[in-house]
Structure 1
Amino acid sequence: MFKKLFLLLLFTPVLGAFAETIKTDVLVVGGTPSGVAAAIQSSRSKIKTLLIEQGSWLGGEMTAGGMCVLDANKTLPSGIWGEFRKKVRDFYKRTPGFDTTANAALRFEPYTGAAILKKMCDTVKNLTVKMNMPVTAVKKDGNGWELIVTLNGKPATVKAKVLVDATPLGDIAAQSGATFWTGFDNKKETGEALAPEQALPIIEDVTWVAVLKEFEKNTIYLMQKPAGYDEALYVSLKGKDIKKMLEAGRLPNNKYMIKWTENTYGATIDQLSPEKREEFYKSMRQRTLGLVFYIQNELGFKNIGIDDKEFGSPDHLPYIPYIREYRRYKGQTRMTLGEIYNPYANKLYRTSIAVGDAAFGQHYADPAAPKTNYPPLPAYTIPLGSIVSKDVVNLIVTEKAMSTTHLTNASTFYPSVQMTVGQAAGATAAYCVFFDKTTKSFDALTVRTIQGEILDYKGILYPFADIGPSDKYFRSVEQVIGSGMLKQVHQLQGKSMQVLFKPDSTVSTADVEPVLRETFTRAFIWFSKNHPGALFTVSDMLSYISDYTLTEPKTLQLTLQKQWQDTYKFKQAFDLKRPITRYEFAVLANKYLNPFSTHVDITGKVVN
């Protein structure tokens, strides 16, 4: 009897018995701007990485969603974002009409953007990319992860040590058990003066972009009237300068990105839920088709139509919508407007892992949505804790679901900002694997190690309008700013707020003394003994370095006097009596004091 039962089991197919299991160290779900950057960085950090995307294109909303005019972070072309930007510009540099000025908005055809991202991924070792692979289940496996995916029409299992949710809507984090905020936060909860008194379940509108092509002038390129067409939805366009609106979205090769009020639609949290999402998407597509029909038939642009060679969807519209907001998960820290407008109110600036400068969006069809009077926006930093889950071990989250407030998300969600966030997510995931850490066991070395990896791969931690990565000592400036010894300067110029380093300005003793005392245990002895004046001099700097490094003062003076202009190329001559400049201070402090080696925790507090 037992023998017969054994033979029966041996030759009876068992469902799932031969299902494929894929093992990786880091798993990135979502081929979005942040997802691609995370996967590339994790792989470059020499960690086995798998990137899976349920669609057929890489790039998320800036390619598959047609959001292909990027005007944020154009003066901050760092790391992987800077690499992508350069490759796009190189591709189009001989295309007639393409704007090659250094800080022009980046414009590209969606298909071309996706192809460039794919090529970037193809050239990276340790990285495997799987397209058309939806995730059907997510569960914890100890400190690691086990996901059920569909591979070639069959279920397969993916096992990973660290999971990066780079999906547009935080779907993986939701399945993992992470908790979320939605809509407007209230002022009491976030401490943001611009937040409303009461929380509101209102999110920003959604756009279904159209990419149109201008055919020859005598060509009539009319589409059929779409189902449910309602002319009243678009009459607001009458009397507007349509040519000017088209030019604002001009793409290479006589194409236009249409991202107008008329194809931007009010959305609710319920409509974007997984259960109702597809139905909502279908209605938006139809309305965007109606807009194109109106442009052709009512506004008279009969030779402008949907480019049927751009997208392979049945209606030739982008595959996915451009979503600004849905839900934001709870991270180890939460990024607020305070980190943008008053970065020194707390210590989170010390944990910066990415930068952004995208103008705040305010797109609300709901009349109950309050109007936010944002002050002029400075470039800002994004703290490490905003991408690391508070509740779920080894979960890192990017895109619209990262840990921010509603008012802050209005900038951080932007694709080019998210590419910088993604690079940091990849470095963070790689750190966990390489050092056998979990996101719950971050120690005093964690923040600086991750930041160092980002800097090694040409990322930017602190954005400046007056000094950039081409400067020989830019990393010294970044690291000293990260220590807090010197601070960024916000300066209003016209209607814009610039973030400056002011390299030629002098150093105030009152600025550097508190951080020197906080960072170095012997600093209080030096200050008690030397009593520097209001302005920190070259002599003060050499004296402090001599005391800290135990170098004989005269030897140090002779060495630096020789190197001052020969090695460091400082603008001003060596003079012990004059106030030291911020640039000189940063270079010497980074070399001799190495404040960046001082450990800080994920809140930015110094850990001695």
Structure 2
Amino acid sequence: MVRKILLVILLLNASFSYAQTIKIDILVIGGGAAGTAAAMQGARSKLKTLLVEPGPWLGGSMTAAGMCVVEGNRNLPSGIWGEFRRHVRDFYKSRLGYDTTYNATLRFEPYTGAAILKKMTDTVKNLTVKLNTPFTAIEKDGTGWQVSITENNRTTTIKAKVVIDATETGDVAAKAGEVFISGFDSAQDTGESLAPATALPRIQDITWIAIVKDFGKTADKTMAKPQGYDAGEYACLKGKDISKMLNEGRLPNDKYMIKWAGCGNQYPTTADDLKPANRDAFYAKARLHTLGLIYYLQTELGFKNLGLDDEYPTPDHLPYLPYIREASRTKGLVRMTLNDLYQPYDLAAKLYRTAIAVGDATPGQHYGEGTAPKTDYPPFMAYSIPLGSIVLKDLDNLLVTEKALSVSHLVNASSMYPSVQMCVGQGAGATAAFCAFFKTTTKKLNVRIIQGELLDFKAWLLPFTDIKPNDPYFRPMQQIGATGLLKGIQKVNGNSAQLLFMPDSVVSTAEVEPFFKEIYARAFLWFNKEKPGEKFTQGNLLSFISEITLTEPKTLQISMQKAWKTQYKFSSDFDMNRPVTRREFAILANKFLTPFARTVDLSGRMVN
């Protein structure tokens, strides 16, 4: 009898160990660029956060998929993305020839990038990271979610207040019941003049990247002929400057990232190919195509000294994952289109006021010859990602990132870029932290509190490239930009366009009068009484501050004159008759008029 009782107890203990339940504030599923940043931000916001990643590395596209030459957002070192950039540059700065200038294209070996991200997460309190841990199921649990994960061949149940889907292909949202769209949207659907007249199901091709090493001129690293190899698939490479193509993907330590379009390792893809049921078979074909390219490079083009080394401990030494540019997208509370990107200040919806991330990656167009329309983008604007694009309409407290982001097909061509997604992930982490901390749902988000948290952690809301993050007044200029009181100025530079704050230019009355009248009832009386000239002066600004705050004008003038250079460190002289600069205006208006404190909804409309 005693033996039977002991056996029952042992069996019960075993069943409990296989059915462990963990309660958490924030669960991030997917440890790619967005997921790693989201988990770090959630934990830094002092919420108990768990990150689960099915593979052995953090970093997703940038590391596990080998996309380790990162050009997008090199002018926008926002928050955690900027932190990662600094760590990579510090690691390689002693290497001869490594470019460490402020906005240099970032180049690194994939395993080094993964190790840096792991070290970054290891230093964050309140954060637990579980690698090699896939999720298997998700279901609603009150206002939160219950998720099943597999670790060490055991099922663990996670009860989370908020879940962030940071998988490359929106797998979590799909299992939760979200409806997706894919391919080109129609112009009628999005209002984008560059969209085709009718929707097309075509999505961008994947690339199974290869990281090769130069083993020296005399080395022969020729691999075995891959299964199904056909030299004709790569024939268009003959006659091309292969050395130049290799150099474009140059990495430290005599390595190269091969990510070649045309008949290189780009591989035609459909949304169905990326569904979990079809993924493994499709990936196997794509891997063989890349192996064939390397074999062709060695045998037909004379580069037998280049070979796949042990960068990746996979059987074929290719990356763990393909570089996925597009999958299927959600329709969130807000869908960002090219109109929001090119005309942020001209539309009824002022989505820039709800910004949680920045981007400037040049949009890619990676399709097989003649299989999709070419989009003639005008010079591509630096832009902000709105909060509503990560929030689902019908699934509370489930946020989306990566290729599931609620944007149009034409915007996804840029927003999918890993450095942009690292910024999006930080925004998602702050949003999840808001919901968990205030015990609320994604139906009751406070835009300004979330943005304030992001600014606390050095994230950018607006892509003002002429305001560096070490500027002591970076924050007030970002906040004023996010209100629209002072709007960014677009400057075209070749195929791209920057958004500038132009802090040393002067403020015109015409640009600030509409906003002042929109949110301050007494502004109508002030403008009728003062009738400021074309240029808004320091005296005009102090007079308006006096009117709104009911401060005695002379007292305000005296105190401001004393603080002008000592407290505010302004370089100009205090002169009531001189036009006020945008820097001076932003700092003083932000402090005394507090327009950033005005509540906005997810469309950017002022609600009080």
Q: How does the TM-score come out when normalised to structure 1?
A: 0.96
- Contact 1:178/1:330 (<8 A) preserved: no
* More divergent stretch after superposition (167-176 vs 552-561): 552-561
Q: Deviations over 1:352-404 (max 9, x none)?
A: 00000000000111624111010001211010000111110101100011100
Q: Are residues 1:431 and 2:454 paired?
A: no
Q: Are residues 1:33 and 2:33 paired?
A: yes
Q: Are residues 1:388 and 2:391 paired?
A: yes
Q: In structure 2, what is the equivalent of residue 421 of structure 1?
A: 424
Q: Helix, strand or coil for the counterpart of 2:274? A: coil
* More divergent stretch after superposition (521-530 vs 429-438): 521-530
Q: In structure 2, what is the equivalent of residue 263 of structure 1?
A: 265
Q: In structure 2, what is the equivalent of residue 450 of structure 1?
A: 450
- Equivalent residues in 2 for 1:346-385 (5 A)? 346-365=349-368, 367-385=370-388
The 1:495–1:320 alpha-carbon spacing in structure 2 relative to 1, beyond 3 Å, is closer
- Equivalent residues in 2 for 1:73-88 (5 A)? 73-88=73-88
Q: In structure 2, what is the equivalent of residue 305 of structure 1?
A: 307
The 1:510–1:167 alpha-carbon spacing in structure 2 relative to 1, beyond 3 Å, is same
- Equivalent residues in 2 for 1:462-481 (5 A)? 462-481=462-481
Separation in structure 2 between the aligned mates of residue 137 and residue 20 of structure 1, nearest angstrom: 15
The 1:286–1:55 alpha-carbon spacing in structure 2 relative to 1, beyond 3 Å, is same
Q: In structure 2, what is the equivalent of residue 284 of structure 1?
A: 286
- Contact 2:355/2:451 (<8 A) preserved: yes
Q: CA deviation at 1:454?
A: 0.3
The percent of aligned pairs where both chains have the same amino acid is: 60
Gaps of 5+ in 1: none
Q: Deviations over 1:53-108 (max 9, x none)?
A: 00011000110001100001111111100110000000011112211222111001
- Count of residue pairs the alignment pairs up: 600
Q: In structure 1, what is the equivalent of residue 125 of structure 2?
A: 125
Q: Helix, strand or coil for the counterpart of 1:21? A: strand
Q: Helix, strand or coil for the counterpart of 1:600? A: coil
* More divergent stretch after superposition (412-421 vs 154-163): 154-163
- Contact 1:565/1:571 (<8 A) preserved: yes
- Contact 2:362/2:496 (<8 A) preserved: no
Q: Helix, strand or coil for the counterpart of 1:195? A: coil
Q: In structure 1, what is the equivalent of residue 101 of structure 2?
A: 101
The 1:585–1:382 alpha-carbon spacing in structure 2 relative to 1, beyond 3 Å, is same
Q: CA deviation at 1:183?
A: 0.5
- Contact 1:266/1:366 (<8 A) preserved: no
- Contact 1:464/1:501 (<8 A) preserved: yes
Separation in structure 1 between the aligned mates of residue 10 and residue 252 of structure 2, nearest angstrom: 60
Q: In structure 2, what is the equivalent of residue 235 of structure 1?
A: 235
The 1:8–1:56 alpha-carbon spacing in structure 2 relative to 1, beyond 3 Å, is closer
- Equivalent residues in 2 for 1:128-527 (5 A)? 128-261=128-261, 262-307=264-309, 309-344=310-345, 345=347, 346-365=349-368, 367-442=370-445, 446-527=446-527
Q: Deviations over 1:293-315 (max 9, x none)?
A: 111111111111001x2101110
Separation in structure 2 between the aligned mates of residue 295 and residue 114 of structure 1, nearest angstrom: 28
Q: Helix, strand or coil for the counterpart of 1:492? A: strand
Q: Helix, strand or coil for the counterpart of 2:276? A: coil
Separation in structure 2 between the aligned mates of residue 136 and residue 334 of structure 1, nearest angstrom: 29
Separation in structure 1 between the aligned mates of residue 382 and residue 218 of structure 2, nearest angstrom: 46
Q: Helix, strand or coil for the counterpart of 1:561? A: helix
2:127 maps to amino acid: L
Q: CA deviation at 1:14?
A: 10
Separation in structure 2 between the aligned mates of residue 581 and residue 364 of structure 1, nearest angstrom: 47
Separation in structure 1 between the aligned mates of residue 20 and residue 244 of structure 2, nearest angstrom: 54
- Contact 2:380/2:495 (<8 A) preserved: no
The 1:14–1:564 alpha-carbon spacing in structure 2 relative to 1, beyond 3 Å, is closer
Q: CA RMSD in A?
A: 1.7
Q: Helix, strand or coil for the counterpart of 2:174? A: helix
2:29 maps to amino acid: V
Separation in structure 1 between the aligned mates of residue 579 and residue 545 of structure 2, nearest angstrom: 16
- Contact 1:66/1:318 (<8 A) preserved: yes
Q: In structure 2, what is the equivalent of residue 63 of structure 1?
A: 63
Q: Helix, strand or coil for the counterpart of 1:20? A: strand
Separation in structure 2 between the aligned mates of residue 9 and residue 202 of structure 1, nearest angstrom: 57
- Contact 2:40/2:426 (<8 A) preserved: yes
Separation in structure 1 between the aligned mates of residue 527 and residue 117 of structure 2, nearest angstrom: 53
1:582 maps to amino acid: R
The 1:118–1:10 alpha-carbon spacing in structure 2 relative to 1, beyond 3 Å, is closer
The 1:100–1:332 alpha-carbon spacing in structure 2 relative to 1, beyond 3 Å, is same
Q: In structure 1, what is the equivalent of residue 48 of structure 2?
A: 48
Q: In structure 1, what is the equivalent of residue 573 of structure 2?
A: 573
The 1:394–1:366 alpha-carbon spacing in structure 2 relative to 1, beyond 3 Å, is farther
1:52 maps to amino acid: V
Separation in structure 2 between the aligned mates of residue 223 and residue 8 of structure 1, nearest angstrom: 56
Q: Deviations over 1:25-62 (max 9, x none)?
A: 10000000000000000000000000000001100011
Separation in structure 2 between the aligned mates of residue 8 and residue 586 of structure 1, nearest angstrom: 72
1:279 maps to amino acid: A
2:601 maps to amino acid: D
The 1:563–1:267 alpha-carbon spacing in structure 2 relative to 1, beyond 3 Å, is same
Separation in structure 2 between the aligned mates of residue 194 and residue 398 of structure 1, nearest angstrom: 24
1:435 maps to amino acid: F
